[in-house]
Structure 1
């Protein structure tokens, strides 16, 4: 597979993620109400439906706190990976190290 093919494949993958609402950009713009489960805008502090206080963490922050992620591109990687499968960056040592939850 050529470099052009890989770049095209990655671009199509990102478009698909954005189209269906699962890309990092979408996750950064959403918070989930712990009371009713409604998705709210990240800039809100209270739920639009039930008025409950929203958590400080966006869906992206929550995702990163639960997974080992590449520091370069933010893609989730396995605990044994040495290089990022998406951007090729060398991952820091400490296979089980994850970001602390806020």
Structure 2
């Protein structure tokens, strides 16, 4: 385990393997969604890719309720996104024919 992150050479550099390594490092070396997200972007270089991978992984692990409320409150169109999520969940729970 590379505990020092940036100092150990962990950076997302646009190449998927580097970005995945950086996101996994942020996930395994922190204890909350916010702490890991900040660790991911503070590694520098290709931070948007690293943070996107981290966000998907950590979001699945921690769940919506563990997101920092002050971050959620700043999301543009959050009411629309919430409605869309509920609609997708509803549609996914309905039986569908093969037609």
TM-score category (smaller protein) = under 0.3
User: Which protein has the bigger helix share?
Assistant: 2
TM-score of the superposition, structure 1-length normalised? Answer: 0.24
> Whose RCO is larger (CA < 8 A, sep 6+)?
2
